[in-house]
């Protein structure tokens, strides 16, 4: 009986010993799981972050290359445009240098002469400049006035080209068209003798200065001697449009705002 009680006692002791659990700290359990979470996520996030940084750097480099390439292309285009503009300006200035005495596309033309004298024709760049072209025609001023009163007037001036063989012998450079000294004159198809180029003298300049304020019109300048009709100067002044066909041809067309048709007066210069 005593032995049986001891066995039961040992059995109870063993049972109590087996059923007793080791207490666990809740905070340590939470710490354990938090540590596992951090340990599980770090290996995945680090490569992802590094790849994003590398991708951003590559994108930045590509953007910088694109910007630099665009700037280089733009600079190249600007250089090409500037070179083309310079070439155009060079050709333009070269063509302008061929224009005699700096005459442009619009000039001032003055036709004048004493009542019983010959016709003088002067072309100026502007009213205050020296004539770039001044010639004296064999036609009387009174005859030209009658022609103009009857209708349109076409004056053609022709000169001869210099013989090339003679030019080589004398080593003479060809003159510009407005510098030719001698011209054959035709008025409305009829031959009217010869015209001579001349320098602007003192009396010629006095007449041009007297009509300087006049932009367009015709009239008579009184004679310096009272009662002397031969000393009166007849004149006509207008703006002319100048057209250069070639080195050997030019044309001057009178600009008349009151005329709806062709110009009343045209002057043609030809080297044939």
**Residue-wise pLDDT tens digits, 121-148:** 999 999 999 999 999 999 999 888 888 8
Residue 224 has a CB neighbour count (10 Å cut-off) of: 9
pTM of the model: 0.59
Q: What is the pLDDT of residue 252?
A: 97
Q: What is the tens place of the pLDDT at every residue in 232-257? A: 999 999 999 999 999 999 999 998 77
CA distances from 255 to 107, 180, 202, 238, 252 (A): 10, 25, 28, 7, 9
Q: What is the tens place of the pLDDT at every residue in 62-116? A: 767 666 666 777 777 767 666 665 654 554 444 443 444 568 899 999 999 998 8
Mean pLDDT of 199-206: 94
Q: How confident is the model at residue 223 (pLDDT cuts 50, 70, 90)?
A: confident
Under DSSP, is residue 272 helix (H, G, I), strand (E, B) or coil? coil
Mean pLDDT of 161-167: 60
Q: What is the pLDDT of residue 125?
A: 94
Q: How confident is the model at residue 262 (pLDDT cuts 50, 70, 90)?
A: low
Domain limits of the chain? 29-97, 102-271
Alpha-carbon distance of 133 to 178, in angstroms, equals 6
- 190 contacts: CB under 8 Å, gap ≥ 6: none
């Amino acid at each position: 009986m005593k032995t049986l009680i001891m066995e039961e006692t040992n059995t109870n002791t063993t049972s109590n010993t087996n059923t007793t659990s080791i207490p666990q700290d809740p905070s340590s359990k939470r710490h354990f799981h938090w540590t596992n979470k951090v340990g599980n996520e770090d290996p995945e996030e680090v490569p992802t972050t590094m790849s994003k940084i590398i991708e951003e750097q590559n994108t930045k480099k590509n953007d910088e290359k694109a910007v630099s390439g665009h700037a280089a292309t733009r600079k190249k285009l600007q250089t090409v445009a500037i070179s083309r503009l310079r070439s155009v300006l060079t050709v333009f200035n070269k063509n302008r240098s061929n224009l005699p005495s700096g005459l442009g596309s619009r000039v001032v033309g003055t036709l004048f002469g004493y009542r019983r004298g010959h016709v003088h024709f002067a072309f100026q760049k502007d009213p205050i400049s020296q004539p770039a072209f001044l010639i004296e025609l064999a036609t009387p001023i009174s005859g030209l006035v009658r022609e103009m009163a009857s209708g349109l007037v076409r004056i053609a001036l022709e000169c001869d080209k210099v013989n090339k063989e003679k030019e080589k012998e004398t080593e003479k450079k060809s003159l510009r068209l407005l510098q030719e000294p001698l011209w054959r004159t035709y008025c409305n198809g009829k031959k009217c003798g010869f015209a001579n180029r001349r320098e602007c003298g003192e009396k010629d300049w006095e007449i041009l200065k007297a009509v300087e304020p006049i932009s367009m019109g015709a009239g008579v300048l009184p004679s310096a001697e009272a009662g002397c009709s031969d000393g009166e100067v007849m004149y006509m002044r207008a703006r002319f449009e100048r057209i250069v066909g070639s080195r050997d041809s030019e044309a001057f067309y009178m600009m008349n705002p009151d005329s709806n048709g062709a110009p009343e007066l045209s002057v043609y210069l030809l080297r044939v």
